[in-house]
Chain A
Amino acid sequence: GDSVTQMEGPVTLSEEAFLTINCTYTATGYPSLFWYVQYPGEGLQLLLKATKADDKGSNKGFEATYRKETTSFHLEKGSVQVSDSAVYFCALSDLGNTGNQFYFGTGTSLTVIP
C-alpha cells in the first residue's frame, strides 16, 4: 500500500542555517505530494505541493521537488527563522484511488534557536 517515510527528529538549527527534511514515499499510482506544517496547538496548514514528477513546490522560502526516480520529496530552506519552528509532515494522495485519501509521515519537529 501507499506510505510515507520521513526523517525523524527532532531537528534543532540556528537561525539562518540550511534546512533539509528528507521524505520518501511508496505509491501504487501517480500520487500528488505535499508538505504540511503544524504550529503548536494548531491544525495542519498546507506549506507546498507538487502534483507530478519533476514539479517543484515552493512557498515562504521552502522548496521541494517531486523526484519519481528516487521516490523522494525532500523539504529545503536556505535560511531558517525562529518563526519556522514547528512540526513538518510529508504526505501523499494517490488520485488513482477513490476518495483522495491522504497518507502522512510521522512528522519532523524543527526548533530554530536565535
Chain B
Amino acid sequence: DAGVTQSPTHLIKTRGQQVTLRCSPKSGHDTVSWYQQALGQGPQFIFQYYEEEERQRGNFPDRFSGHQFPNYSSELNVNALLLGDSALYLCASSSGLAGIPSYNEQFFGPGTRLTVL
C-alpha cells in the first residue's frame, strides 16, 4: 500500500517565479491538506481539498492556490515567490469520514523542500 507521495523532493526557484508541487494521497483517502513547515517550526496549515473543492483555508495569501483532481491527487501552486516562502511543504491525506473520531488521522508525505533565492 503506497503511502502519501510528493514530487519533486527538492526545488530551487528565484524570487518572483511560480512553482507547482504535487501530491498523491494514500490509497483510499479522498482528502488532501497542505502545510508549510519553516525551518525549526511546526507545520502551518495552508488549505484542504475535498471533492475537488477547497474546504478550509489557513492564514496564507492568495498567492497560494491549489487544485484537486478527480483521482484525489492535488497540486499546490505558489505565485510571485518570496524569500520567505522557502520551507518544507507537506501534503497530508485523510478520509472524508472526518466526522468519526476513529478516522480522524492525517498521513503525511515526505515533503518538498522549496528554496527561494
Contact = CB atoms under 8 A, between A and B. Distances in A.
Contacts, number: 73
A100 interface: yes
Contacts of A105: 42
Contact of B101 (A32, A99, A104, A107): A32
A95 B101 contact: yes
B102 interface: yes
Interface residues of A, number: 27
B90 to A, nearest CB: 6
Interface size grouping (class) on chain B: 20 to 34
A45 interface: yes
Interface in B77-114: 90, 92, 94, 98-99, 101-102, 104-111
28 contacts: A32-B101, A34-B105, A42-B110, A43-B110, A44-B43, A44-B90, A44-B92, A44-B108, A45-B108, A49-B105, A89-B42, A91-B42, A93-B104, A95-B99, A95-B101, A95-B104, A97-B56, A98-B56, A99-B98, A100-B94, A101-B33, A101-B45, A102-B43, A102-B92, A103-B45, A104-B42, A104-B43, A106-B41
Given A42-B110, A100-B98, A102-B92, 5 more contacts: A36-B108, A43-B111, A51-B104, A97-B56, A99-B98
Interface of A: 4, 32, 34, 36, 42-46, 49, 51-52, 89, 91, 93, 95, 97-107
Interface of B: 4, 31, 33, 35, 40-45, 48, 50, 55-56, 58, 90, 92, 94, 98-99, 101-102, 104-111
